[in-house]
Amino acid sequence: VVDSGSRVARLVALTLLFLITIFTPTSLPYPTGISGEVVASGCLCHGSGLVSEDVSIDVSGFPQSWEVSVEYEITITVQSTVTENGSALGGFNLFIDGGSLSVIDGTVQIVDGEATHTESGNMQRQWTVFWTAPSSTIGDIDYRVYSNTVDGDGTADSDDKGAVVAATIDGPVNDSPGAGEPNLIYPVLLGLVISMIIVNILPHGGGVLESRAEDE
């Protein structure tokens, strides 16, 4: 017979185990890239699952203000204190909520509309991808980049570190209210100037001519 104290102790132990399983950050290696639900859960895949100050992500190529249907070449460069050795160096995921992504070479693939590394692409810490802006003006666009840097020992442990950056690209300049509409201020000013000439100058000029005619 199991006494009530033992039963309570077992229940508490099982509850703690369940909570640890739920709240421990996912720490599984994904050598062929990450996307979709894996990224949606905030997974950094390696290390503690938390953002590390020892990793910096530089994203270049995005404009300050995007233009309709223009293609941009985007480069993601990662710097880390994690030693570069072994069979892998790192990986990334780029999500953007407008336009479309396309690959340049075999180190990057597009999965679920997101750009991520391939298995051959995790042998580096820099990746390049094309982004084509939307074909119509939809306002500002947000993007987010996850990256992991690994030591290549084949395990997703605390020696590996990751980071995330996010930013917003402004919508097209002519997407602002009133943009693209004809500027009426100059025609109005020109009309005022002409009116002043007619009212204030021409009558006086005509009077001088009449006076000269009478003198003759």
Q: Determine the pLDDT at residue 83.
A: 86
In a domain, 75, yes or no: yes
> Using one digit for the tens of pLDDT, what is the confidence trace for 153-206?
777 667 788 899 999 999 998 755 444 445 555 566 666 667 666 666 655 555
Residue 49 sits in a domain whose CATH number is: 2.60.40.830
Q: Which is more confident, 117 or 200?
A: 117
> Using one digit for the tens of pLDDT, what is the confidence trace for 12-51?
655 554 444 334 444 444 555 544 555 544 445 544 556 8
Question: b/e string for 150-179 if b means 16 or more Cβ within 10 A?
Answer: bbbeeebeeebbbbeeeeebebbeebeeee
In a domain, 136, yes or no: yes
Per-residue pLDDT at 54 exceeds 60: yes
Q: Determine the pLDDT at residue 20.
A: 42
Choose the most confident range, by mean pLDDT, from 3-12, 136-145, 173-182: 136-145
Q: Determine the pLDDT at residue 22.
A: 37
Number of domains present in the structure of the chain: 1
Q: Determine the pLDDT at residue 103.
A: 97
> Using one digit for the tens of pLDDT, what is the confidence trace for 64-104?
999 999 999 999 999 999 988 777 899 999 999 999 999 99
In a domain, 189, yes or no: no
In a domain, 54, yes or no: yes
CB atoms within 10 A of CB 117: 28
| Cross-strand bridge partners of residue 126 | 77
pLDDT band at 5 (very low <50, low <70, confident <90, very high): low
Per-residue pLDDT at 10 exceeds 80: no
| Cross-strand bridge partners of residue 147 | 92, 163
Provide the token pair at 131: 């982004």
Q: Determine the pLDDT at residue 92.
A: 94
Of 133, 71, 134, residue with least CA distance to 104: 71
In a domain, 212, yes or no: no
In a domain, 188, yes or no: no
Q: Determine the pLDDT at residue 21.
A: 38
Domain range for 80: 27-175
In a domain, 205, yes or no: no
In a domain, 84, yes or no: yes
